Structure 1
Amino acid sequence: MKNTILGAICLSLAASIWGSMYVVSKYVLDFITPITLVWLRYVIAFFVLYIILKISQNKTKNHTQLKKSDWLLLGWIGFIGYFVSISFQFIGTKLSDAHTGALITSATPAFIVIFARLVLKERLTARKIFSLLLATIGVSIVVGWDSNLGSHLWGSVILVAAAITWALLSVYVKVASYNHSSLIITTYAILFALIFTTPFMVWEIQTNNILFNREIILGVLYLGTVSTAGAFFLWNKGMEIIDAGIGSVFFFFQPLVGSFLGWLLLNEHLDLNFYLGGALILLGVLVVTVKKKQVK
């Protein structure tokens, strides 16, 4: 039970941080192009995580040697999750809109449950399915249904691909956690993502102007340290501790927190749908995490 609570806290914090990320990104993306911003996030995140990893290894005297198969798995996680999925989120949103992006990527937990069954052989219980249904309906109510969804065909297809690839990331992080800590997984997967992103960043800065001031620098530092290094580690740690199928439901905190902070900081309007949808999301999380006491 303690592990379930700790995993739930890690996943809730990660999804909540990602929800807050949109408020900062909305400002920073007016001055820095998307792939360049992703690259900057990864540079900062890798630098922070690598220092923490080395301090931790020196303190515990545990210098884990990674085998070729470990590097291949970490490279796969960095490629499919931190490079492909994040890039697809940006491209898909650009070809449609943020509203459509939020709605389609909320399908991620459903894909996590499917891949957890196929790859990890996790049981597909009625409790998981019911909680997933409740939370999915909740997100649909909070975000709302976009009547223009069909008009953004290619954007919608790419956003579905983003949801699928993030689900694959979450499942293979669980596989990697059988042999390595979340800190090692996050640090080196981000390193691979940084390598994959670099050529696209170089091309982007040659064709676009980038502006820096104090507020932008602070925003980039927040996105790199908190939203990337911190949130990626927390998500991976949560997936390490509890079943991927259960952990998937906590992804729904992202649009909920994003909507709340949009109201709090950007004067965006919250209506009855937010409270009704939010209640269903929380109920879905409770259904999958709170277990009945065994009767002795």
Structure 2
Amino acid sequence: MKRNLLGAICLSLAASIWGGMYVVSKYVLAFIPLFTLMWLRYIIAFVFLYGILKLTQRKRKKRETIKKKDWILIGWIGFIGYFISISFQFIGTKLSDAHTGALITSTTPAFIIIFAKFVLKERLTIRKVISLVLATGGVFIVIGMDNHIGSYLYGSVLLVGASITWALLSVYVKIASKRFSILTITTYAVLFALLFTTPIMLWEIQVDTGYYQNYLIILSIIYLGLISTAGAFFLWNKGMELMEASIGSLFFFLQPIVGSFLGWFLLSEKLDVSFFIGGILILVAVMLVTYKKKQLS
């Protein structure tokens, strides 16, 4: 029960941070090119995480041995999750709109549950299915049905790809966590993502160097690197380690709730009754899979 509660807290915090990240990203992307911003996020996150990792190892006087096959696994996590998935999400949203992006990426938990069943051999229980249906319904109510998805074909395809690749990341983090600490996995996966992003960033700055002469832009980039990347990636990975992947995946649905709330709080966007109805459904779904597991399974 304690593992479930701690995992729920970690996943809730990660999803909440990402829910608010779009407000900051929307502001910064008006000044900084997409892949350059990704690179800046990853370099800040890696330096911070690497420093924490080394301090932790020195304190414990213990270093983890990473073999060649383990580097391949961590590299795969960095490539498929932090490079491909994030790139697909950014480009897909740019080719469609934020509404379509939020709607399509909310399918991620369904893909996680599917991969968890076939890769991790987790049981697909009635409780999980009911929770998934409730949470998905809640997202549709909060965001609303979008009749423009068909007109955003390329963007929609990339967004589906983002959902699938993030689901794969979540499953493979679960596998890697049996061999290494979450801090080690997150740190070196971010390093691989940084390496994969560098060539595109170098090409991109030849076309657009960006604008940095504003302290709000600098602070926003630091926030994205430390909080939305280093902090949220670690929290998500830690939460997935502590809970079954299929159960932990449902916390992903908290993103649109937090995003909608912050849009109302910071951007004066309107919240109607559908936000509260959908939000209640999502919270009920999360509580259903988090508590009283023995009785409900």
1:94 Cα deviation after fit: 1.2
State how far apart, in whole Å, the 2-side matches of 1:56 and 1:161 are.
35
State how far apart, in whole Å, the 1-side matches of 2:57 and 2:134 are.
42
Q: CA RMSD in A?
A: 0.8
1:209 Cα deviation after fit: 3.5
State how far apart, in whole Å, the 1-side matches of 2:254 and 2:293 are.
24
Q: Which amino acid aligns with 1:128?
A: K
Counterpart residue number, 1:249: 250
1:292 Cα deviation after fit: 5.7
Counterpart residue number, 1:171: 171
**Residues 256-290 of structure 1, C-alpha deviation per residue, up to 9 Å, x if partnerless?**
10110010011111111110110000010011111
Counterpart residue number, 2:291: 290
Q: How many residues are treated as equivalent by the alignment?
A: 294
State how far apart, in whole Å, the 1-side matches of 2:268 and 2:200 are.
35
Superposed counterparts of 1:103-114, under 5 Å: 103-114=103-114
Give 3-state SS (helix, strand or coil) of 1:52's partner. Answer: helix
Counterpart residue number, 1:19: 19
Superposed counterparts of 1:125-274, under 5 Å: 125-212=125-212, 213-274=214-275
State how far apart, in whole Å, the 2-side matches of 1:228 and 1:211 are.
21
Residue 59 of structure 2 is aligned to residue 59 of structure 1: yes
State how far apart, in whole Å, the 2-side matches of 1:111 and 1:44 are.
30
**Residues 223-273 of structure 1, C-alpha deviation per residue, up to 9 Å, x if partnerless?**
000000000000000001110000000000111101100100111111111
**Residues 108-153 of structure 1, C-alpha deviation per residue, up to 9 Å, x if partnerless?**
0000000001110000011111101100110111111111111111
State how far apart, in whole Å, the 1-side matches of 2:144 and 2:208 are.
34
State how far apart, in whole Å, the 2-side matches of 1:132 and 1:292 are.
15
State how far apart, in whole Å, the 2-side matches of 1:179 and 1:152 are.
41
Counterpart residue number, 1:278: 279
State how far apart, in whole Å, the 1-side matches of 2:34 and 2:138 are.
29
State how far apart, in whole Å, the 2-side matches of 1:100 and 1:219 are.
24
TM-score, length of structure 1 as denominator length: 0.98
TM-score, length of structure 2 as denominator length: 0.98
Percent identity for Structure 1 against Structure 2? 70
Give 3-state SS (helix, strand or coil) of 1:76's partner. Answer: helix
Q: Which amino acid aligns with 1:219?
A: S
Residue 1 of structure 2 is aligned to residue 5 of structure 1: no
State how far apart, in whole Å, the 2-side matches of 1:99 and 1:202 are.
30
- Structure 2 residue ranges without an equivalent (≥5): none
**Residues 60-104 of structure 1, C-alpha deviation per residue, up to 9 Å, x if partnerless?**
011111000110000000000000000000111111111100000
Q: Which amino acid aligns with 2:130?
A: F
Q: Which amino acid aligns with 2:254?
A: F
1:154 Cα deviation after fit: 1.2
State how far apart, in whole Å, the 2-side matches of 1:122 and 1:55 are.
35
State how far apart, in whole Å, the 2-side matches of 1:284 and 1:61 are.
42
Give 3-state SS (helix, strand or coil) of 1:221's partner. Answer: helix
Q: Which amino acid aligns with 2:228?
A: S
Superposed counterparts of 1:61-100, under 5 Å: 61-100=61-100
State how far apart, in whole Å, the 1-side matches of 2:267 and 2:166 are.
28
Q: Which amino acid aligns with 1:259?
A: S
Q: Which amino acid aligns with 1:244?
A: A
Q: Which amino acid aligns with 2:31?
A: F
- Structure 1 residue ranges without an equivalent (≥5): none
Query: Post-superposition, which runs of at least 4 consecutive aligned residues in structure 1 deviate over 2 A?
Result: none
1:41 Cα deviation after fit: 0.3
Q: Which amino acid aligns with 2:242?
A: I
